[in-house]
Amino acid sequence: MKQSSLLPLIIFILMFLWEQVAPYGDYKDKKANFICNILIALINTLILRLIIPIQIYQSLDQYIPNFIEFKNMPFNFLITILVFDMAIYWQHRFFHLNDFLFRMHKAHHTEKFLNVTSGMRFHFFELILSSLYKVFLLLVFNPSLENYLWYEAILLSFSLFNHANIKINFKLELLLSKLFITPLIHRSHHSPKSVSMNKNFGNIFVFWDKLFKSFEIQETRTYGLSGCNYSNNFKAQILIPFKKS
C-alpha cells in the first residue's frame, strides 16, 4: 500500500522536471499559480486525513449486505480500475451538467496556466463530495482495499500527467491517446470555449469519452472560463462557490 502512495510523488517530480526542460507553452505569473495550487493541495490533503473513503467504508460495510464483491472476481484489479474510472468519468460529467456542482468545480477551471500542480487544484467542497461518492462505490462494489488504493494512485498520477505543461512528440502522443487520456486531449477540456470545455471528461482511459460521445481533439493554448475573471490567489479560489457569477 505504501508503494501505491509513492507513484503520484514520482510522477509529480518527473512532470515538474519535464516542464522545466521541455514546456508546451510559456506563461506569465507562474509563481502565483504554483503557490495557489500547492496551498489548495495541502488543504485537501488535511481534509482527506479526516474524510478518508476507506475508513468510512469500513465503518459502514458491516451494516450493508454485499451483493457484489470485486475482490473475489477474476481479474479483480483490472475490473476495479475500469469500473471506478467509468464512475469518476460520470462524476466529472455531472459536475459540468449541474449548476450547483459546477460552482464547486469552477476553481479547477479558472486555471489559466495549466501545469502539473493544476492536477491537484480542486475545491475542498468538490473533494468532500467526491470522497462521499467513492464511499458509495466502495460499498456497492467491494474491491480489495489494495486495488482501490492503487486505483487512487493511478488516478492522481494521470491527473498530474494530463495537466502538465509538457511537450510530447506528436506521433507518440497520438499513439498513447488511442487508449489513455493525454495532455493533448485534456487541454481542450480547459478551453474557454464552452463546447470544448464540455468534452473530454475522462481521467485514465479515453474510451469512456468515445463511448459516451464526449470526445474531441482540439489543440489550445488558452485556458480558463470565458467571462470569469477570478483572482488567482488562494482566498479568491476558496470563495468561488459562494459567488453568484
State pLDDT tens for residues 115-138: 999 999 999 999 999 999 998 999
Block residue for cell numbers 477540456? 189
Q: Give buried/exposed letters for 117-150 (b at 16+ CB in 10 A, else e).
A: bbbbbbbbbbbbbbbebbbebbbebbbeeebbbb
Residues 108, 189 contacting (CB under 8 angstroms): no
- Write down the pTM of the prediction: 0.91
Residue 1: per-residue pLDDT: 54
pLDDT tens for 161-193 read 999 999 999 999 999 999 999 999 999 999 988
**Distance set, CA 124 to CA 38, 131, 169 (Å):** 13, 10, 35
What is the structure's pLDDT at 121? 92
Say if residues 27 and 224 touch (Cβ distance below 8 Å). no
Lowest average pLDDT, out of 62-71, 95-104, 164-173, 177-186, goes to 62-71
Q: Provide the 10 A C-beta neighbour count for residue 80.
A: 23
Range of lowest pLDDT (16-20, 62-66, 86-90): 62-66
Is the per-residue pLDDT at 220 higher than 80? Answer: yes
Q: How far apart are CA 35 and CA 23, in angstroms?
A: 19
The predicted pLDDT at position 209 comes to 97
User: Crossing angle for the helix pair 2-21 and 145-163, nearest 10 degrees?
Assistant: 10
Distance CA 159, CA 173 (A): 16
Percent of the chain with pLDDT over 90: 56
Question: Which range, 39-43, 66-70, 93-97, 106-110, has the best average confidence (pLDDT)?
Answer: 93-97
Whole-number Cα distances in Å, 243 to 41, 118, 123: 22, 21, 14
